[in-house]
Amino acid sequence: MASVAQANGSHKQQQALWQLDQAQVQRICEAKGYHFRDVKLPPGQTLRMFGWQMLMGNVSCDAVVHHANRAFTASAYCQARQRLPLEVVQEVSAGIVKQAMALGGFGSEHLWQGHRTFRIDGSSTRLPDSQELRRHFGCSGKCRAGCSYPTAHLLLLVGAGGVGIECICSPLRTGDMTHASKMHQHLQSTDVLIGDGLFSSFCHLHVLQTQQLHGVFPVHHSRKVVWGKHAQHGYNRRWVKTLGWRDQLVEYRKPSKRPKWMSKQQFDQAPQWLLVREVQREVMIGGVRRHVTLVTTLTDSLKYAAAALIKLLGERWTIEVNLRSLKSTMGAERLHCQSVQGVKKELLMYLIVYNLLRLLMLQAAQRQRIGLDRISFADALMRLRYGSDWEIWVDLKTNALRSGRIEPRVVKWRAKPFAPMSKPRAQLRRELIEHRKRAAA
């Protein structure tokens, strides 16, 4: 009976990973100019095994061998992953994103006043302690040498329905704005980008306007905002027009120094003053009334009401939930590959499986006729991991409506009674051996 259940579960996973078609992957390899011998682990089979490995929580390569009934060794599978071209994985990921968008991720019910909306945010992930990763990604400066692990900076772009459009992996000391302009290639004219205050700079707003895109961001904490014609707006801004209570058009002055992520040509072509709109409203956040101030390129107050803009900005928090699903629920908070190319492929495979889960959730939401935000991501993951074949169309678990929910950010479990690592492991090992020698003497 156990073997039958295992076979059913395996078949369901194959059904869910239908996008990772071996023949399609082979065609992508040939189109990219990659040719492989007739081996046990061709690119299509390797990609599917790679996807199953990430689906199960980034299990060991030995687990993949057992899943494949020992058709190959762990060493052979590891070498096949290294041979898998990164361009091929990127092409497969782009195809799955396109399918998720066509399925309903950008349907009319997901549009905001006729605009598609995207969310962008930065994060990080821990990496194995190898010399190659240390040199490329770097380590945190808060820890002593030899006591920290390499860390990669992530920049995630999410579309409607929580579809992960792209995740850029870069060294730790990389700002969120460094690759933000690269994300614009996935956007079309009139799309709206939502992010935190780091994306509200003059230069980024100018780049959005030149590409006929729009942005809605909180005003950066370093920018002083005052209201009205007779207020002291300072040197870097000037008042243009009042649109309503705490709603005004202002102009931002071009900074004197060009940011590193912006080309010299773009900076030279930028105007001296940039017209934007500032809105401030009082909202209830965590049981406390707070003032929220945003800046946007949507300057038409008749078409875009101030209250609607504030509500749209509040939806930025959904990308934090998407990051939690990708990192904490699926396990991408810590990667296992020890090479730069391996880390990028591993992270991309996480994004592929994440979008496959989003496809499953989109189908469930349409079938159950409820909002996508009500479908449980964790239940979709467990169903894909352990569900049997006859359960493939069973409704997914729905989350209760918990508006205004407040939870303290505390740790419930008691920490281990070990001291934090303050010296390199080799030095600690030598001190422990010398201590035992002295004790034995």
How do residues 94-110 score in pLDDT, each as one tens digit? 988 888 887 765 555 67
The answer on pLDDT for 10 being more than 80 is: no
Least confident piece of the model among 12-16, 252-256, 358-362, 416-420:
12-16
Task: Report the pLDDT averaged over residues 235-252.
Answer: 94
Backbone angles phi, psi at 374, to 5 degrees: -90, -15
pLDDT band at 11 (very low <50, low <70, confident <90, very high): very low
Residue of 343, 349, 353, 373 lying closest to 361 (CA atoms): 373
pLDDT at 404: 67
Residue 257 burial (CB < 10 Å; 0-12/13-18/19+)? exposed
Q: Phi/psi class of residue 45: alpha, beta or left (left: φ > 0; alpha: ψ in -120 to 50)?
A: alpha
Residue of 122, 121, 120, 198 lying closest to 153 (CA atoms): 122
Q: Which long-range contacts (CB under 8 A, 24 or more apart) does 284-290 make?
A: 284/404, 286/406, 287/404, 287/406
Task: Report the pLDDT averaged over residues 120-143.
Answer: 90
Residue of 130, 108, 126, 128 lying closest to 117 (CA atoms): 108
pLDDT at 302: 94
CA distances from 331 to 191, 272, 304, 336, 375 (A): 31, 46, 39, 11, 20
pLDDT at 215: 96
pLDDT band at 62 (very low <50, low <70, confident <90, very high): very high
Cα angle 150, 152, 154; round to 5? 165
Q: Tell me how far apart the alpha carbons of residues 225 and 237 are, in angstroms, rounded to a whole number.
A: 9
pLDDT at 56: 93
pLDDT at 352: 93
Q: Tell me how far apart the alpha carbons of residues 329 and 323 are, in angstroms, rounded to a whole number.
A: 9
Q: Tell me how far apart the alpha carbons of residues 397 and 374 are, in angstroms, rounded to a whole number.
A: 8
pLDDT at 393: 64
pLDDT at 3: 39
Expressed in percent and rounded to 5, the helix, strand and coil fractions of the chain are 45, 20, 35
- Residue 136 half-sphere exposure toward CB, CA atoms < 13 A: 18
Residue type at position 423: K
pLDDT band at 274 (very low <50, low <70, confident <90, very high): very high
Which helix (DSSP H) or strand (DSSP E) does residue 28 occupy?
helix 22-31
Residue type at position 261: W
pLDDT at 20: 66
Residue 343: other Cβ atoms inside 10 A = 24
pLDDT at 191: 94
Contact 67, 10 (CB under 8 A): yes
Q: Tell me how far apart the alpha carbons of residues 19 and 24 are, in angstroms, rounded to a whole number.
A: 9
pLDDT at 422: 82
Task: Report the pLDDT averaged over residues 363-374.
Answer: 86
Q: What confidence tens digit (pLDDT) does each residue in 176-189 have?
A: 999 999 999 999 99
Task: Report the pLDDT averaged over residues 1-5.
Answer: 37
Helix and strand totals (H; E) in the chain: 15, 9
Q: Which tokens is 29 given?
A: 């390899």
Looking at the chain, the whole-number percentage of residues with pLDDT higher than 70 is 92
pLDDT band at 14 (very low <50, low <70, confident <90, very high): very low
pLDDT band at 124 (very low <50, low <70, confident <90, very high): very high
Q: Tell me how far apart the alpha carbons of residues 249 and 360 are, in angstroms, rounded to a whole number.
A: 43
Backbone angles phi, psi at 218, to 5 degrees: -70, 145
Q: Is 284 helix (H, G, I), strand (E, B) or coil?
A: strand
pLDDT at 19: 53
Task: Report the pLDDT averaged over residues 304-321.
Answer: 93
Q: Tell me how far apart the alpha carbons of residues 210 and 191 are, in angstroms, rounded to a whole number.
A: 13
Q: Tell me how far apart the alpha carbons of residues 441 and 439 are, in angstroms, rounded to a whole number.
A: 5
The answer on pLDDT for 38 being more than 80 is: no
Fill in the DSSP letter of residue 219: P
Q: Is 343 helix (H, G, I), strand (E, B) or coil?
A: helix
pLDDT at 132: 93
pLDDT at 99: 83
Contact 239, 248 (CB under 8 A): yes
Task: Report the pLDDT averaged over residues 17-44.
Answer: 77
Task: Report the pLDDT averaged over residues 141-149.
Answer: 77
Q: What confidence tens digit (pLDDT) does each residue in 405-439 have?
A: 677 778 787 878 888 888 888 888 999 999 999 99
CA quadruple 413, 417, 423, 425: dihedral sign: negative
Beta 214-218 vs 192-194: how paired, if at all?
Answer: parallel
Q: Which long-range contacts (CB under 8 A, 24 or more apart) does 406-414 make?
A: 406/286, 406/287
Task: Report the pLDDT averaged over residues 338-354.
Answer: 95
Residue boundaries of the structural domains of the chain = 2-89+356-391, 115-323
pLDDT band at 40 (very low <50, low <70, confident <90, very high): confident
The answer on pLDDT for 13 being more than 70 is: no
